[in-house]
Amino acid sequence: MPTEHQTLAPLPPTPRTHPVEALFSHGRLVAIPRKEARREQLLVHLADTLFERERSYTEREVNEALLTVHEDCSALRRYLVVAGLLVRPRDGSSYRRGR
């Protein structure tokens, strides 16, 4: 117990978010995060780095881009659509950057 004249050293600050780069090894995504907030952080990063705004992509192009970082491109594509980061018409004929 500290006395009146002693003070405890402040704890080092803990970062609230970890850099997205920590999810990658040699340019490949190690695993898709289970925690929603961390996955959202990853998805925003993927949308920003893999897909241009104002450009339309075929499903094949989306898959090819996602395969450059992880083998489960369909899961990543689905997460991007659910998050609104990629949007597609009802027929699934094309994809565009969302928010």
Q: 73-97, pLDDT tens digit by residue?
A: 999 999 999 999 999 999 988 999 9
Question: Is the whole model's pTM more than 0.85, yes or no?
Answer: no
3-state secondary structure of 57: strand
Mention the CATH class of domain 21-95.
mainly alpha
Residue among 70, 72, 50 at smallest CA distance from 61: 50
Domain spans of the chain, in order of start: 21-95
Distance between CA atoms of residues 75 and 41, nearest Å = 16
pLDDT bucket at 17, cuts 50 / 70 / 90: low
